[in-house]
Structure 1
Amino acid sequence: MGDPAAEGGHVDAIRVMVVDDHPIWREGVARDLGERGCDVVATAPDAPAAVRIATAVRPDVVLMDLNLGAVSGVTAIGEITAALPETQVLVLSASGEHADVLEACKAGALGYLVKSAGAEELLDAVERTARGVPVFTPGLAGLVLGEYRRLAEGPAPARDEPAVPALTERETEVLRLVAKGLTARQIASKLVVSHRTVESHVQNTLRKLQLHNRSQLVRYAIEQGLAD
């Protein structure tokens, strides 16, 4: 998904897949998103079907429940994000348990909402997720941030381990703003540079860090304490 074109070009609707084992809830969410401009390209009732269908239709965003029966949604998240690095996963679950949130994020989910979220809040979350911006129900973002920081702490790398490639001052500045949830156009405006320059810095940073997408970039920034 790209940012809306400033030149007035056509902007494609966000392609969404809804995964939930309750058919009434699943179809209701799909209908609400469709009525608000999203292109709901598929739905799925369980984890195996979610992986199979997502791989075929390649949505921008997978809206994923966790309690899906025999196979957990966490398993599906891991398989989908591994197979489709450009697809973002947003969890929509009845559970707000810390363990569930952390497992989902470790598996590759970019955000996590509880099902008490309203229709407009959900639409906003889907739109932000499609842009690679992490979205969490209030109170859960700090939990995830704290866990990433805890995991980032550990013994110093051995002397013979290759060092992480150094980022330039501007690349670090852009990375910090990406981690704060700003779009490329917002970053360009803030730094008074072109949109293409920002995208170039993002791509250079991804290449240097050997990462594949913005969600991995955000996680790296959190681990390095750049999201403060």
Structure 2
Amino acid sequence: MGTDDTPTVMVVDGHPIWRDAVARDLAEAGFTVVATADGVASARRRAAVVQPNVVVMDMRLPDGDGAKATAEVLTVSPSSKILVLSASDERDDVLEAVKAGATGYLVKSASKTELGAAVRATAEGRAVFTPGLAGLVLGEYRRIAQGPDSKSAPSLTERETEILRHVAKGLTAKQIAARLSLSHRTVENHVQATFRKLQVANRVELARYAIEHGLDE
């Protein structure tokens, strides 16, 4: 984190005007913008040096796409969280970004306030998606999970599956508890049990597992 635990951010976008505007908006919102990049190669180089907490990533870059850039950045800065900010809401773009390691995906119609909230949530390890895209991703991976290998998935209880679905949407334990009329401790106990069953270390990995296996019912 930057000064006073402010998340550090790198903005990757091939369009200079948009890139500068996003960087300016985030700086005005109180984030520490440590670098900008205009493509896959420059994103990798700069991420290796600055190790940003969050990378705001476009999907259309001059020397590749956002999915490739995401994978490259995570190779040199594995602790970074990737938030895609793209004009595209195409299914293939969203799925490729998530497969490459993106934590969240926003379309560029998001407001400054929504972007700031999404960057902060991403820095905290929560999955963030533009409304409608989370369902698209979960639905696609549910279809994949219904293939021949789906029976090998660990067995979760109905309550664990329900909580996992909310974790994948980026809700905190407190928010899940309120929504399901459970105590905060009960939700945390279910989350920890799910960690053990799925052999994941944190909520980001848990959310990614939910997306990959469609455990939303």
TM-score bracket, shorter-length normalisation: 0.7 to 0.9
1:120-175 deviation digits (Å, cap 9, x = unpaired): 121122122222222222332222111111221211479xxxx6666689876754
Report the Cα distance in structure 2 between the residues aligned to 1:164 and 1:144, rounded to whole angstroms.
18
CA RMSD of aligned residues (A): 3.2
Aligned to 1:192: 183
Aligned to 1:211: 200
Quote how far apart the aligned CAs of 1:86 are.
Answer: 3.0
Give the structure-2-normalised TM-score: 0.80
Give the structure-1-normalised TM-score: 0.76
Given the superposition, is the C-alpha separation of residues 212 and 167 from structure 1 closer, same or farther in structure 2, using an over 3 Å criterion?
same
From the two aligned structures, give the one with the greater helix fraction: 2
Report the Cα distance in structure 1 between the residues aligned to 2:192 and 2:49, rounded to whole angstroms.
27
- Is 2:103 the counterpart of 1:110? yes
Out of 4, 12, 16, which is 2:9 matched to? Answer: 16
Give the paired residue count.
214
| 1:99 partner SS | helix
Aligned to 2:129: 136
Report the Cα distance in structure 2 between the residues aligned to 1:193 and 1:112, rounded to whole angstroms.
28
Deviating more after overlay: 12-21 vs 77-86: 77-86
- Is 2:67 the counterpart of 1:78? no
1:61-118 deviation digits (Å, cap 9, x = unpaired): 1100121112222111112234444321111112222222221121111222222222
Out of 51, 54, 70, which is 1:58 matched to? Answer: 51
- Asked if the contact 2:174/2:184 (under 8 Å) is kept, the reply is no
Out of 37, 40, 45, which is 1:44 matched to? Answer: 37
Given the superposition, is the C-alpha separation of residues 184 and 82 from structure 1 closer, same or farther in structure 2, using an over 3 Å criterion?
farther
Quote how far apart the aligned CAs of 1:222 are.
Answer: 3.7
| 1:62 partner SS | strand
Q: Percent identity?
A: 59
Report the Cα distance in structure 2 between the residues aligned to 1:183 and 1:82, rounded to whole angstroms.
28
Q: Which runs of 5+ in 1 are unaligned?
A: 2-9
1:17-36 deviation digits (Å, cap 9, x = unpaired): 10012222111111111111
Report the Cα distance in structure 2 between the residues aligned to 1:49 and 1:36, rounded to whole angstroms.
25
1:26-66 deviation digits (Å, cap 9, x = unpaired): 11111111111111111111111111211222212110012
| 2:125 partner SS | coil
Report the Cα distance in structure 2 between the residues aligned to 1:142 and 1:172, rounded to whole angstroms.
15
Report the Cα distance in structure 2 between the residues aligned to 1:82 and 1:170, rounded to whole angstroms.
35
- Is 2:143 the counterpart of 1:150? yes
Report the Cα distance in structure 2 between the residues aligned to 1:53 and 1:110, rounded to whole angstroms.
20
- Is 2:210 the counterpart of 1:221? yes
Report the Cα distance in structure 1 between the residues aligned to 2:168 and 2:9, rounded to whole angstroms.
23
Q: Which runs of 5+ in 2 are unaligned?
A: none
Q: Residue type matched to 1:13 in 2? A: T
Given the superposition, is the C-alpha separation of residues 151 and 16 from structure 1 closer, same or farther in structure 2, using an over 3 Å criterion?
same
Aligned to 1:179: 168
